[in-house]
Chains A and B, each alone.
Chain A
């Protein structure tokens, strides 16, 4: 009966532990349930299409998945998600976008087909621009890498993983494609942050414009675009090109360990796509709180609030507008937003701005991606806004402009809502509890082991066996160590200090020294053992001996000096390196995989109680 109970408990606990790893953390829900980002507006035959990045993740989970979704609109105001979303998810067979496609830039080809360029995030943390094609813009195929910053960064002596491509905008021209991308990479000693440019005749072979990149570097003195550029959109404005970009400043606020990205939209224009001029009105657009505060910035009450904010953190000379927005985020929000001065000034707000409480608007505190498109006499912008300062719940909204500089939001509500939240299976989230159970079981096993030792040595002493003196030594060592480790050995209070000194003697003076002596002795045994065992008994033994001698010599300067006269590839350190990485590494890998499979089989046998010796 006891045995059956043990088998049953082992099986149930093992099964639960296995399921915690194997089954997903969540089921159901939308591909864009966490947030939406990087919109891309494209003119289609029957209206306008909006491609965007959907992010799916459980609250608190690190398992984040990206996918590209599609929404459609006939009038530019009412949007609906297309059936069959997501249009492009992560591929199990493509390691380059293993985390999923991000920041889609879709262009319409002259024959009516679609080409999508997107940023692929691989498990190696390197960003690459990839391409997929589609006849109808719904079913995509042929994903492949078209360019990255790996080569350029490596040539400049930079770390490839730190060469980030954050966002992408691609224009189709008569002669091919021009890509503008927000990136960070290294050139010599400098880190380049800004918008760079690349061209391609066919969308496959790309040439980075190394002579002019970055075509638009960030201007930290602007304040609001101090840290980086996170998204961009390029359109033809009739006289040239307009570049809309999201400038970001990363902040760490008092009392919070989470960074806050404060993002505002800037505009630059260019006649040739290489030399860009920032608009004097920059920043031209931002989250709802920024829009409201900007409209009130001449109000004396608001000015006073700003001065108070500056007094709190006088070391940072924030530009006034972003300072006002920051005042709202840094704990002055209620005072600033609810104060009498603001109430008086709020009467000057437009009806639209007053229609909904500010902090309840979907884009209240944060703004991320954008895409701009010409529409009739004006322009339309799709952007992502979030209610939280940390920007974890972005949804898509629409704004319009007649001149491309002054923008008005179409609605206080988002044009597109996020997908449904997935159902938590509570398996992954209960892993911590399971681990704690194992910890308790481990502690119990330790106690059982101690109990066994005490019983064994106790019976030896009681029986007065020949070697019972060693058993007495065991009890003395056990008691002394326990007393000085748990009680008397503590540093505080002062009365226990002598005990603490003895504790140090036991651990540092004895245990560590005995360990060091054992290691020293091993060296002598090793020398003696190698002398006796490395014998040319057969070809395999000879091969092993020669390899061992070469590796031993290759490890030390003397060996390297002895073969310094040989060609470089023949020098012993390079031969040792070749042996290590061509022979040893694959062999070790095979052994470790074999051992892991063996361990798995053993674990399965234990779990299914097939190995009955342990029970």
Chain B
């Protein structure tokens, strides 16, 4: 008889139940998680009733883009962040195409695949809205920063150069076309031609704040994963960020502001996320019931 079995035999029924609640096999947790997530996709999407101040501010900042300005769209998301970033990207592009806001897609920094991921979606959305590449939007591709040991300085350096001379930083677009030949880029030379910068990434670079916003006053909107929103909330509160889209929730709130006919990807993803959050709370409560029931014995 091992020591664990011996311990279980000395417990009361209630304490034994509590001990089991505390030591659920992780495979059970994983299994329930999979079942709840898959089942939730089959349900009708829950309505998003509340829009937070960060998403509303982001919407208003983008919506106020004047006709003579463009939006710089730093698409630094990748396949491993698309669960949250993709929905944000789709909602933002829908807004800009709908409002006829011109935009320039780039990836300045650390996400080489961002512009390519963006282009696949842009091709489809542009066709839906009747928009033309080079006139309504362009995709300049990726420009990398330096080695990881000194990432901060070269990224800031790169963003500084990008803000001062976009054509020098990106001489050609994603397809290799010289930027001077793209009609839209003929009036977009520096960051001063932009109304705003939107950066979509797992964790948008803070260098956008220190090297671009601080120097040129260009407003910034960050679309990031939910888990890193606390890092950026301080900048939103101080006014250095014009808005934040935090994870799928941010995308869903943005879709609500867009008043889409059909639920968007963000809204659809919020239903399984809702149930998973509640499931995790249930697990936490179960663990604590177990913990409390065995508390007397531990003392």
In Å, the complex CA distance between A513 and B82 comes to 11
In Å, the complex CA distance between A523 and B273 comes to 11
Is A588 a contact partner of B233 (Cβ separation < 8 A)? Answer: yes
Is A527 a contact partner of B280 (Cβ separation < 8 A)? Answer: yes
B147 on interface, CB distance cutoff 8 Å: yes
A159 on interface, CB distance cutoff 8 Å: yes
What residues of A have a CB within 8 angstroms of the CB of B278 in the complex? 553, 556, 558-559
What residues of A have a CB within 8 angstroms of the CB of B46 in the complex? 557-558, 561
Per the 8 Å Cβ criterion, residues 300-350 of A in contact with B are: none
In Å, the complex CA distance between A516 and B147 comes to 23
Give chain B nearest CB distance to A390 CB in angstroms: 14
Which range contains the number of B residues in contact with the other chain? 35 or more
What residues of B have a CB within 8 angstroms of the CB of A560 in the complex? 49-50
A462 on interface, CB distance cutoff 8 Å: no
Which segment, of A72-80, A279-287, A288-296, A438-446, faces chain B? Answer: A438-446
Contact of B234 among A446, A536, A564, A585 (CB under 8 A): A585
What residues of B have a CB within 8 angstroms of the CB of A549 in the complex? 281, 284
Over the window 501-543 of chain A, the binary record of Cβ atoms lying under 8 Å from chain B Cβ atoms (1 yes, 0 no) is 0000001100011011011000110011011101111000000
What residues of B have a CB within 8 angstroms of the CB of A512 in the complex? 78-80, 113
In Å, the complex CA distance between A442 and B189 comes to 29
A124 on interface, CB distance cutoff 8 Å: yes
B96 on interface, CB distance cutoff 8 Å: no
Is A564 a contact partner of B284 (Cβ separation < 8 A)? Answer: no
Over the window 81-97 of chain B, the binary record of Cβ atoms lying under 8 Å from chain A Cβ atoms (1 yes, 0 no) is 11100000000000000
Is B29 a contact partner of A527 (Cβ separation < 8 A)? Answer: yes
**Tally of A interface residues using CB under 8 Å:** 60
In Å, the complex CA distance between A70 and B263 comes to 63
What residues of B have a CB within 8 angstroms of the CB of A439 in the complex? 146, 150, 153-154, 157
Give chain B nearest CB distance to A543 CB in angstroms: 14
Of listed B52, B219, B275, B292, residue having the most chain A CB within 10 A: B52
What residues of B have a CB within 8 angstroms of the CB of A432 in the complex? 157
Give chain B nearest CB distance to A570 CB in angstroms: 13
Is A531 a contact partner of B147 (Cβ separation < 8 A)? Answer: no
In Å, the complex CA distance between A536 and B286 comes to 12
B99 on interface, CB distance cutoff 8 Å: no
User: Given known contacts A512-B78, A527-B280, A585-B234, is B291 in contact with A536 (CB within 8 Å)?
Assistant: yes
Which segment, of A1-9, A196-204, A269-277, A576-584, faces chain B? Answer: A576-584
What residues of B have a CB within 8 angstroms of the CB of A161 in the complex? 219
Is B48 a contact partner of A519 (Cβ separation < 8 A)? Answer: no
User: Given known contacts A442-B150, A534-B288, A585-B233, is B82 in contact with A507 (CB within 8 Å)?
Assistant: no
Give chain B nearest CB distance to A4 CB in angstroms: 24
Give chain A nearest CB distance to B206 CB in angstroms: 10
The chain B residue sitting closest to A63, CB to CB, is: B215
Is A557 a contact partner of B48 (Cβ separation < 8 A)? Answer: yes
Is B287 a contact partner of A531 (Cβ separation < 8 A)? Answer: yes
In Å, the complex CA distance between A443 and B149 comes to 9
Contact of B64 among A159, A507, A561 (CB under 8 A): A159
A172 on interface, CB distance cutoff 8 Å: no
Per the 8 Å Cβ criterion, residues 113-146 of B in contact with A are: 113, 116, 146
Per the 8 Å Cβ criterion, residues 583-609 of A in contact with B are: 584-585, 588-589, 592
In Å, the complex CA distance between A545 and B285 comes to 10
In Å, the complex CA distance between A600 and B226 comes to 29
Is B80 a contact partner of A515 (Cβ separation < 8 A)? Answer: yes
Give chain B nearest CB distance to A496 CB in angstroms: 15
In Å, the complex CA distance between A436 and B158 comes to 10
What residues of B have a CB within 8 angstroms of the CB of A535 in the complex? 287-288, 291
Chain B interface, DSSP helix/strand/loop, else mixed? helix
Give chain A nearest CB distance to B44 CB in angstroms: 12
Is B146 a contact partner of A438 (Cβ separation < 8 A)? Answer: yes
Give chain B nearest CB distance to A491 CB in angstroms: 8
Of listed B274, B278, B292, residue having the most chain A CB within 10 A: B274
Contact of A438 among B80, B150, B189, B249 (CB under 8 A): B150
Contact of A530 among B231, B252, B284 (CB under 8 A): B284
B98 on interface, CB distance cutoff 8 Å: no
Is A531 a contact partner of B284 (Cβ separation < 8 A)? Answer: yes
Is A435 a contact partner of B157 (Cβ separation < 8 A)? Answer: yes
In Å, the complex CA distance between A585 and B78 comes to 28
What residues of A have a CB within 8 angstroms of the CB of B189 in the complex? 257
What residues of B have a CB within 8 angstroms of the CB of A523 in the complex? 33, 276
Is A519 a contact partner of B80 (Cβ separation < 8 A)? Answer: yes
B170 on interface, CB distance cutoff 8 Å: no
What residues of A have a CB within 8 angstroms of the CB of B275 in the complex? 558
In Å, the complex CA distance between A564 and B49 comes to 10
A552 on interface, CB distance cutoff 8 Å: yes
Is A162 a contact partner of B64 (Cβ separation < 8 A)? Answer: yes
The chain B residue sitting closest to A512, CB to CB, is: B79
The chain B residue sitting closest to A584, CB to CB, is: B230
Over the window 1-37 of chain B, the binary record of Cβ atoms lying under 8 Å from chain A Cβ atoms (1 yes, 0 no) is 0000000000000000000000010100110010000
Is A588 a contact partner of B83 (Cβ separation < 8 A)? Answer: no
User: Given known contacts A553-B281, A584-B233, is B146 in contact with A443 (CB within 8 Å)?
Assistant: yes
Over the window 252-278 of chain A, the binary record of Cβ atoms lying under 8 Å from chain B Cβ atoms (1 yes, 0 no) is 100001000000000000000000000
Give chain B nearest CB distance to A556 CB in angstroms: 4
B270 on interface, CB distance cutoff 8 Å: yes
Contact of B147 among A442, A536, A559 (CB under 8 A): A442
Enumerate chain A interface residues (CB-CB to B < 8 A).
62, 124-125, 158-159, 161-162, 252, 257, 432, 435-436, 438-439, 441-443, 445-446, 507-508, 512-513, 515-516, 518-519, 523-524, 527-528, 530-532, 534-537, 545, 549, 552-553, 555-561, 564, 571, 573, 577, 580-581, 584-585, 588-589, 592
21 A-B residue pairings within 8 Å (CB atoms): A124-B239, A161-B219, A435-B153, A435-B154, A438-B154, A442-B151, A445-B150, A446-B149, A516-B80, A524-B33, A534-B288, A535-B287, A535-B291, A552-B280, A556-B277, A560-B50, A561-B49, A585-B233, A588-B231, A588-B233, A592-B234
Contacts A531-B29, A531-B280, A588-B233 known; 8 new A-B pairs at CB < 8 A: A442-B147, A442-B151, A507-B113, A508-B79, A530-B280, A559-B278, A573-B50, A589-B234
Counting from the closest, the 10 A-B pairs by CB-CB distance are A515-B80, A558-B274, A512-B79, A442-B147, A442-B150, A556-B274, A531-B283, A435-B157, A557-B46, A446-B147
